[in-house]
A and B are shown apart, each in its own frame.
Chain A
Amino acid sequence: MQHFLTTESLDRDQLIAILDTAESFTSVDGRNIKKVPLLRGKTIVNLFFEASTRTRTTFELAAKRLSADVLNINVNSSATVKGESLLDTLRNLEAMHIDMFIIRHHNSGAAEFLTQHISPGISVINAGDGRHAHPTQAMLDMFTIRRVKGEFANLRVAIVGDLLHSRVARSQIHALRTLGAKEIRVIAPRTLLPSHIEDLGVVAYQNIERGIKNVDVIIMLRLQKERMQGALLPSQHEYYHLFGLTRDRLAMAAADAMVMHPGPINRGVEISSAVADGEQSVILQQVSYGIAVRMAIMSMLAGN
């Protein structure tokens, strides 16, 4: 692998290799000195055209634990960032002899675009492009699922919420399919389901009680506040009433169902605090596994 852009193009062995490598890095987290020298002397740039706290910091930590030098560049996303300036930004940074770019951008395909114009030898990791893909998030979710459940083959997984705008969900669906999950369900009102979503190999439900029945894994998606009023959804209140994950609804899933969320959480909008903080929730584990998974991907791209 030179780049890591999407989970769609990877086969099962590649996904498993990432999970296995990440497993080996989880021990680094527990050490007193949390560094390994795998990327010593390498320069990694976090190039973020969209605001992010969690993803950027975990990438930064992951890079530092691999002993790389890290540069964070946040480009104001409120200004219209045109293609030329994306390319110009890239060219300028390239001149500084960067080894790896981690890019987040509001346009789908931005990371792919970068790989088409970058000098050979430089790696690109997609940290989220438009609605297209967020493959490192999906891989840390897969890692979390495997840690808790062991195998994918018998799992029923439900993804609940704003699938229309979610790059996380798309990457999760591809990864879950390749890893052999038994059934993938997507649950949302019709306005938040992309067209032809079922052709990706999932079953769509517009009713959470039916969709959640007997599932082993529940992945809640974040619903952005600005999307809660207007033509997509009438109100926050009605959304929670129809799709919020409450204790009563969680009880309809398998008894040992795990609850996930890529964060940040809107408590009382998509998930109740009781569930988010409850014993079936693995939301905080997801965050800490994020570092190990990103270390794994970075070190694999660097040829380790």
Chain B
Amino acid sequence: MKTEIINAHMVDPANDIDRVSNLYLHENTIAAVDAAPDGWQAEVTIDAKEHYIFPGLVDLAARMREPGQEHKATIATETLAAVSGGVTSLVCLPDTDPPVDSPAEIEFIQQRTHTTGHCHVYVIGALTKQLEGAMLTEMAALKEAGCVGVSNLLHPVTSNLVLRRAMEYASSQDLTLFFHPMDHDLKANGCIHEGLSATRMGLPGIPSAAETAAVGSCLALIEQTNVRVHFCRLSTQRSLQMLERASFDGAPVSADICAHQLFLHDNDIHDFDGNYHVLPPLRGKADMQGLRRRLCNDIIVGICSDHQPHEPDAKLAPFAATEAGISSLETLLPLTLKLVEENVLGLADAVGLLSHKPAKLLAIDAGTLSPGASADLCIVDPKLEWRLDAQTMISSGKNTPFLGQTFTGKVTHTFVAGRLAYQLKQ
């Protein structure tokens, strides 16, 4: 199959391309950029005038709830939601049921992706057995099965000694540790940022120090061991300052931020709406602005969705009793484009944080439009206005505080390995 996409505004930050151009796809790879290869005869031509072409987006964190939580979502439903949002590679996390702590779960996910999935799926394995924080998983076996990193997510690791050993062992297997900083003693039963909103609503708070204390002790262990660590879903600007400083001093660290932390703060939480219940919590406005200002720093290698689809019942309770998380695959690109519109990021920087930078962190073949690369890409109509509605959302999870909001810019086509995986119904 030969497909050409012509007259598009191509943004491919890995190759420093940000101009009107043409793209030629042959089978599952990108055949050429700008000029057609010799003797080219397109079978399909898409005129993408006044549209963008971006590399397929790489999402560092998206739960699909399979295995074990199919009442929330499945690989089939969520990978379709992903491609509808321009995401062609996503990383799923080990807090399934059972957790991904052995090759069997990885193979299951790969198998289900092969038979029901719509995009590339990569797996982060559990750092400790059952995510219980005490015994290391068989990381060599996980790696051999294909996992791209290890993490204990927000499940506590029982001590800094275990964390140190896990860091060192993961490093010896050449597996990146995806570290979610949270001091669980300081968090206690908190469910919202410790600030005026928590005080007004009478909800137990999570102090910023619950994050910065964990960042601090992990940095001390990095200094001790010189192990590379990726810090996930940072919510406070102080954490970023600490990482910037450590990076300046030579520590091998990187970080990501999820899109909703760049648009919402604790003061936005109203009527005890459980759709605002996320972990780490939405911080104060100053933190949100601080995260925005620091997006261009080199240590930030990704904006991710932190997609967590839930069944309606999970949010049908008073705030603290709801399950945390936002269904966010379909708002990742629209929110990031909004950052461009609001002059927080340049377009190329924004696309880079959604594509080649996270791909580089994961060391996967994705995130660029280079000839020879996998033909993963999305075409975006930058002027199309649309409203996020529960009825039209593709994800099984309709749990998002952005319901009813209008966005500008929508994916019209998504190609995964040269195959048209999604096309917007006109």
A→B interface (CB under 8 Å): 8, 82-84, 86-87, 105, 107-110, 112-113, 116-117, 129-133, 167, 170, 194-197, 199-200
CA distance A84 to B322 in the complex (A): 10
A116 and B202 in contact, given A83-B322, A108-B319 (Cβ under 8 angstroms): no
Residue of B195, B317, B321 near A195 (CB, 8 A) is B195
B344 an interface residue at 8 Å Cβ cutoff? Answer: no
A170 to B271, CA, bound (A): 16
CB–CB A83/B316 < 8 A: yes
CB closest residue in chain B, given A132: B202
Mask, B204-230, CB within 8 Å of A = 1, is 110100000000000000000000000
B313 in the interface (beta carbon within 8 A): yes
Residue of B nearest to A133 (CB): B202
A-B contact pairs, 10 of them (CB 8 A): A84-B316, A108-B320, A109-B201, A109-B272, A109-B318, A112-B271, A130-B202, A130-B318, A131-B203, A195-B205
Residues of B within 8 A of A87 (CB): 316-317
Q: Is there contact, CB below 8 Å, between B272 and A108?
A: yes
C-alpha spacing A199/B318, complex, angstroms = 25
* Given A110-B318, A167-B202, A170-B199, 9 additional A-B pairs, CB 8 A: A83-B316, A83-B317, A83-B318, A84-B316, A107-B318, A116-B271, A130-B203, A130-B318, A170-B202
* Nearest CB on A from B227, distance (A): 33
Number of A-B contacts (CB under 8 A): 80
Contacting pair B198 A194 (CB below 8 A):
yes
Q: Smallest CB–CB gap between B199 and chain A, Å?
A: 4
Candidates B195, B320, B322; contact of A130 at CB < 8 Å: B320
Q: Which of A113, A133, A194, A197 contacts B318 (CB 8 A)?
A: A113
Say what secondary structure dominates the interface of chain B: loop
Contact B199 A197 (CB under 8 A): yes
Across the A-B interface, the 5 shortest Cβ-Cβ residue pairs: A83-B317, A109-B272, A132-B202, A131-B202, A107-B318
Instruction: Pick the most buried of B198, B199, B271, B322: most chain A CB atoms within 10 A of its CB.
Output: B199
In the complex, the answer to whether A83 meets B199 with C-beta atoms within 8 Å is no
A200 to B196, CA, bound (A): 8
Complex Cα distance, B316 from A195, in Å, reads 28
Q: How far does the Cβ of B26 sit from chain A's closest Cβ, in whole Å?
A: 53
Q: Which residues of A lie under 8 Å from residue B203 when comparing CB positions?
A: 108-109, 130-132
In the bound complex, do residue A113 and residue B272 qualify as a contact, i.e. CB atoms below 8 Å apart?
A: yes
CB neighbours (8 Å) of A129 from chain B are 202, 318
Contacts of A107 in B (CB 8 A): 317-321
| Most chain A CB within a 10 A radius of its CB, from B200, B202, B207, B321 | B202
Assign chain B's interface to a size class: 20 to 34
Give bound CA distance, A83 to B311, whole Å: 13
Query: Are B317 and A82 in contact, CB atoms less than 8 angstroms apart?
Result: yes
Q: How far is the CB of A248 from chain B (nearest CB, A)?
A: 32
B317 x A196 contact (CB < 8 A): no
What residues of A have a CB within 8 angstroms of the CB of B196 in the complex?
A: 195-196, 199-200
Query: How far apart are the CA atoms of A21 and B199 in the complex, in Å?
Result: 31
| Residue from the list A83, A133, A170, A197 in contact with B321, Cβ < 8 A | A83
B277 CB → nearest A CB, Å: 11
Query: Bound complex: CA of A285 vs CA of B204, how far in Å?
Result: 33
Tell me if B256 is interfacial: C-beta within 8 Å of chain A. Answer: no
Bound Cα distance A167, B320 (Å): 16
B317 and A86 contacting across the interface, CB-CB below 8 Å:
yes
User: Out of B194, B200, B313, B320, which one reaches A8, CB within 8 Å?
Assistant: B200
Query: How many Å from the CB of A91 to the closest CB on chain B?
Result: 11
Closest to B195 in A: A196
Whether A200 contacts B199 in the complex (CB less than 8 A), given A112-B271, A195-B205, comes out as: yes
> A82 to B321, Cβ gap below 8 A?
yes
**Docked-complex contact A108 and B195, CB < 8 angstroms:** no
Closest to A134 in B: B202
- What CA separation (Å) do A19 and B63 show in the bound complex? 52
User: What CA separation (Å) do A196 and B267 show in the bound complex?
Assistant: 13
The residue in chain A whose Cβ has the minimal distance to the Cβ of B284 is A196
Nearest-CB distance from B129 to chain A (Å)? 26
> Contact at B200–A170, with CB atoms within 8 Å?
yes
Please give, as numbers and ranges, the residues of chain B lying within 8 Å of A117 by CB-CB distance: 316
Asked if residues A112 and B198 are in contact (CB atoms below 8 Å), the reply is: no
A194 to B313, CA, bound (A): 31
Closest to A84 in B: B313
Cα separation A224 to B272 with both chains bound (whole Å): 26
